Amino acid sequence: MKVSAVFKVRSPEIRALHLTWIAFFITFYVWFNMAPLASSMLKSVDWLTRDDIRLFAIANVALTIPARIIVGMALDRFGPRRVFSVLMVSMSIPALVFAFGNTMSQLLVSRLVLSSIGASFVVGIHMTALWFKPKDIGFAEGFYAGWGNFGSAAAAMTLPTIAITMFGGEDGWRWAIAQSAIVMAAYGVYYWFAITDGPDARAHRKPRKAMAMEVSTWGDMIKLIIWTIPLVGCLGILVWRIQNMGYMSVTAAVICYLIIVAVIIYQVVQILRVNVPILKKGVPEDDKYPFSSVAALNSTYFANFGAELAVVSMLPMFFEETWGLNAATAGMIAASFAFVNLVARPMGGLVSDRMGNRRFVMLSYMFGIGIGFVMMGLLNSSWPLVIAIAITIFTSFFVQGAEGATFGIIPSIKRRITGQISGMAGAYGNVGAVVYLTIFTFVTPTQFFYIIAGGAFLSWLICLIWLKEPEGAFDEEYYVSSVDRMIEEQELAKTQAKPQQG
């Protein structure tokens, strides 16, 4: 697939790509619609404090992790068209409640529920995988994610202007947020009718069970349990932070910890319920896949997307304090880290497509991230500012290229459970952000850069040992196993039986 292909909008798959990245763009625009209007909120609402805003920021990512897991399961069962449309329409409700909320509880609860919209990323990943062939999937996924992620930057650039010039007054921020929510709901309805789950009905292959990921061996089941625990356990860090900020009593925190433990136990039980019968019966050789590759990609997204979210949060202050810049200039320079997304992420996928070895590309990008953050750790006020900016862009290029390369591999691991694998890897990106941002509260920026460089090198080592080159990663069509064919025949039999029953 050539870069110029994205302009061929009459092509069904290119049209699907554009429809899907726009949906992703809008959801991220809504997800990040609070931060650029935070100062307006403080001026407009006299009982809000800066600590309240910080609490809302935590709430804004709290449920993203479990939502990505749940949505990943829903994708494999219901298909991305339905899930994306329902997600956009339903999440417009908490966005509107937040826009016009007049109590602390209304704002906090609505922002907490709205954090689920971060799951939109994995929905589009699955939809894109249904439309594009294995040999083109890297660039297609990178283009989707790069332009969709830009929604957060677009919100920062446009919402303050919309609030001031289009609506104005003390409640201008409310109407600006409400407008974004209404646009998202309208696009959700349009998306339902404008797209299908792949070019034909056979593109969307369902797993046998959607409650937990299928594995191929007893050892893989143990690995799946081990890698599942941090996904929900990570929420304990958020509870600890909220309690430390004084918004939660010890009793409430203990209740939250018990709920987290209960959810983990429930997930482990589901893994056992789904996989024990399958493993006892035996998995055909042609249906097996290496869960170690999933684990390796979990680690890469932890190290690249987690680092991106964390660095974007601290970079403006780093430039401001290190080189004595004003806030506006530091913000513009720091924004270069996100702007690179538009090019670097599609390029990461494109390189993954062209090199003929997706594993080698993944390893190269992760090593580049490590080198980049080590160089950023060396920066101080004695370095020329222009060199610091160049190093920042260099690092961002590898970080976001690695994100593209990660999702260039995922659709080829196991087609039938792409949604679940995407959801798990995507959730690990948020786990990385929570872990890195928590660590940042205890260390200096220099130490922080070295720590995330260490995370990248550790992920590189994990990939070196565990990541395998997917079979058929550059074929014209996705690999179909005997179990895939059996499930397809069962689905077809059910469809044919329905009219007779009626």
Rounded to an integer, the average pLDDT of 165-191 is 92
pLDDT of residue 210: 62
Amino acid, single-letter form, for residue 143: F
Q: Burial level of 371, CB count in 10 A (0-12/13-18/19+)?
A: middle
Cβ atoms 323, 334 nearer than 8 A: no
Encode pLDDT of 84-103 as tens digits.
Answer: 999 999 999 999 999 999 88
pLDDT band per the 50, 70, 90 thresholds, residue 327: low
| Range with lowest mean pLDDT among 188-202, 414-428, 456-470 | 414-428
Q: What angle do CA 317, 321, 324 make, to 5 degrees?
A: 125
pLDDT of residue 502: 43
CATH no. of 8-195: 1.20.1250.20
For 106-137, give the DSSP string. HHHHHHHHHGGGGGHHHHHHHHHHHHS-GGGH
pLDDT of residue 46: 86
Specify which of 314-323, 332-341, 419-428, 453-462 reaches the highest per-range mean pLDDT.
453-462
pLDDT band per the 50, 70, 90 thresholds, residue 501: very low
Helix (H, G, I), strand (E, B) or coil at 430: helix
Mean pLDDT of the chain: 86
Domain segments of the chain as ranges:
8-195, 217-288, 289-472
CATH no. of 289-472: 1.20.1250.20
Residues 6+ apart with CB under 8 A from 176: 33, 37, 159, 162, 163, 166, 167
Encode pLDDT of 141-151 as tens digits.
Answer: 888 888 888 88
Q: Residue 310 and residue 61: Cα distance in Å, rounded? A: 12
CA distances 97 to 94, 104, 175, 413, 473, Å, are 5, 12, 11, 40, 45
Q: Residue 406 and residue 344: Cα distance in Å, rounded? A: 13
Instruction: Dig out the tokens for 438 from the structure.
Output: 């928590």
pLDDT of residue 125: 84
Q: What is the percentage of the chain residues whose pLDDT exceeds 70? A: 94
Domains 8-195 and 289-472 share a fold: yes
| Range with lowest mean pLDDT among 12-26, 69-83, 202-216, 275-289 | 202-216
pTM for this one?
A: 0.82
Rounded to an integer, the average pLDDT of 152-168 is 83
Instruction: Pick the more confident residue, 247 or 221.
Output: 221
What's 3's DSSP letter?
G
pLDDT of residue 209: 62
Helix (H, G, I), strand (E, B) or coil at 84: helix
Residue 300: name the closest of 220, 364, 343 by CA.
Answer: 364
pLDDT of residue 204: 67
1-24 as b/e, with b when 16 or more CB fall inside 10 Å? Answer: beeeebeeeeeebbebbebbbbbb
Rounded to an integer, the average pLDDT of 199-227 is 82
Q: What are phi and psi of 248, to 5 degrees?
A: -145, 135
Residues 6+ apart with CB under 8 A from 290: 216, 220, 413, 466, 468
